Structure 1
Amino acid sequence: MKRSLLALLALVGFNSFAAEGTQFDWGYSKETAPEQWSKIKPEYQTCEGLNQAPINIDQTVSAQLPALKLNYSSKADTIINNQRTVQINFAAGSNLELDHKVFDLKQFHLHSPSEHTIQAKSFAMEMHFVHVTEQGELAVVAVMFEEGQENKKLKQLWKELPKKSGNTVQLKHQDLATAFLPEKLDYYRFNGSLTTPPCSEGVRWIVLKEIQQASKQQIQAFSSLMEHPNNRPVQPTNARLVLE
């Protein structure tokens, strides 16, 4: 693996298990809040870029988008509470085929409330499936959760939530990533960025239209673990097109 790709994976949290007492130089409140990210250090200046994520999905352009090719066959490996989110890492073997390229699934993580909004509506929780090519190109599939019925798959996963920041747990319930996807895979697509520093742009975003449900207790279990909202506010869409 090239050094540049290793650096990129570290930046977006792939297999980066934060030790106890790890201090992040960015956060979600006060002097390290999202509006301050670009000022924290030069490497984060892209956070003021013109193609940032998340966005409010409102005005869209109709397009003949191809069906998503999600080849998810590997199992979940570990779960970590890294102080900024809960991240589930996957063993090798799953991928997304997009734009005639293969993006390997590395992990999914959670935000509450949602980062993206749809017609100005915020959701209780948002799950990001993060994929990367061998060349370091990124694609993220986002799934929204609203408060409703208990989610059976989340129920299993929540039993193994690391309560202490920095803890990593080897998962016993090694569900496939497909377990957390909706039945219908209709989606919005746009170009954006990472939603955390360094806010690197050029990320292919796929936001699924079908909304999943999770119970009030399940949503609170995650949000209370974080002790604070961990969503970046929506960013200006500017001249970008949102396809559907």
Structure 2
Amino acid sequence: MPAWVSVLTLLAACSHQAFASCAHGTHLHPRAERGVIEAPKFGYVATKGPANWFSLDPQANVLCGHGKHQSPINMEKGSFDLIPASELKIDIPDFTEGAEFENLGTTVEVVAEGLGGKMTLDDTSYSLQQFHFHLPSEHLNNGTSMTMEMHMAWTSEEDEIAVIGVYIDLYDGFSAAQHEGKAAGRKALRDHR
């Protein structure tokens, strides 16, 4: 029976280079009043895909034309430093009262703001704002697109943004015991470009 396995954890902590979907619900891209969500001006394929993001809206997407950390990022071995698990503390409680679910047009998102998710890294505390999914993955794993990717977007009191991304893929014949063994040895990554 196929089982999902997260094969990579990415931590990109930054104050102003967050990805468009990841910034939703933060100070960089606040939620719209009364639940009105503007239709996205970008996508992930064809003429609305990453290669054309700058030309879709040069003023809003200036970093897409000149920056170096935009989607899709090819996660290549050696381009990230490992963060020891002891330096990263994450606590995400069960959402026993439920959570708001939004369809943003390019992804689906669970609104987690105010629901108690906490993360600490380098003595900075972050609160979980939202998590969303990309199908297929937004980023590449050594040049390969994965089946799916989840992003958890966090903010600090100093308006720093951190994003944790997890690749999700399908494997035939992969047992739960194998998954637990691999997950126990997994570490977070920090971009050092």
**Mapped pair 1:69 → 2:89:** yes
Within the candidate set 115, 121, 143, 1:98 is matched to: 121
The aligned residue for residue 41 of structure 1 is 58
The aligned residue for residue 228 of structure 1 is none
**Mapped pair 1:52 → 2:75:** no
Moved more, 32-41 or 6-15: 6-15
Shift of residue 25, structure 1, vs aligned partner? 2.5
The aligned residue for residue 107 of structure 1 is 130
* Structure 1 counterpart SS, 2:106: coil
Alpha-carbon distance in 2 for matches of 1:148, 1:127? 17
Alpha-carbon distance in 2 for matches of 1:190, 1:54? 14
Asked if 2 retains the 8 angstrom alpha-carbon contact of 1:131 and 1:139, the reply is yes
Alpha-carbon distance in 2 for matches of 1:37, 1:83? 16
CA deviation digits over 1:122-164, x for unaligned, max 9? Answer: 2100000110112221111111111247xxxxxxxxxxxxxxx
Alpha-carbon distance in 2 for matches of 1:84, 1:7? 12
Letter in 2 for 1:23: A
Q: Percent identity?
A: 27
Asked if 2 retains the 8 angstrom alpha-carbon contact of 1:8 and 1:136, the reply is no
Asked if 1 retains the 8 angstrom alpha-carbon contact of 2:153 and 2:163, the reply is yes
**Mapped pair 1:190 → 2:178:** no
CA RMSD after TM alignment: 3.2
The aligned residue for residue 88 of structure 1 is 110
Asked if 1 retains the 8 angstrom alpha-carbon contact of 2:84 and 2:188, the reply is no
Consecutive unaligned residues in structure 1, runs of 5 or more: 1-5, 150-181, 192-239
Higher relative contact order (CA 8 A, sep 6+): 2
TM value normalised by structure 2 = 0.65
Asked if 1 retains the 8 angstrom alpha-carbon contact of 2:74 and 2:140, the reply is yes
Shift of residue 66, structure 1, vs aligned partner? 2.5
TM value normalised by structure 1 = 0.53
Alpha-carbon distance in 1 for matches of 2:93, 2:117? 5
* Structure 2 counterpart SS, 1:25: coil
Aligned length: 154
Letter in 1 for 2:100: T
- Does the C-alpha gap of structure 1 residues 33 and 144 become closer, same or farther in structure 2, counting only changes over 3 Å? closer
- Does the C-alpha gap of structure 1 residues 113 and 16 become closer, same or farther in structure 2, counting only changes over 3 Å? farther
CA deviation digits over 1:162-188, x for unaligned, max 9? Answer: xxxxxxxxxxxxxxxxxxxx6655122
CA deviation digits over 1:86-126, x for unaligned, max 9? Answer: 10111522111012101110110000111222222321000
The aligned residue for residue 210 of structure 1 is none
- Does the C-alpha gap of structure 1 residues 54 and 12 become closer, same or farther in structure 2, counting only changes over 3 Å? farther
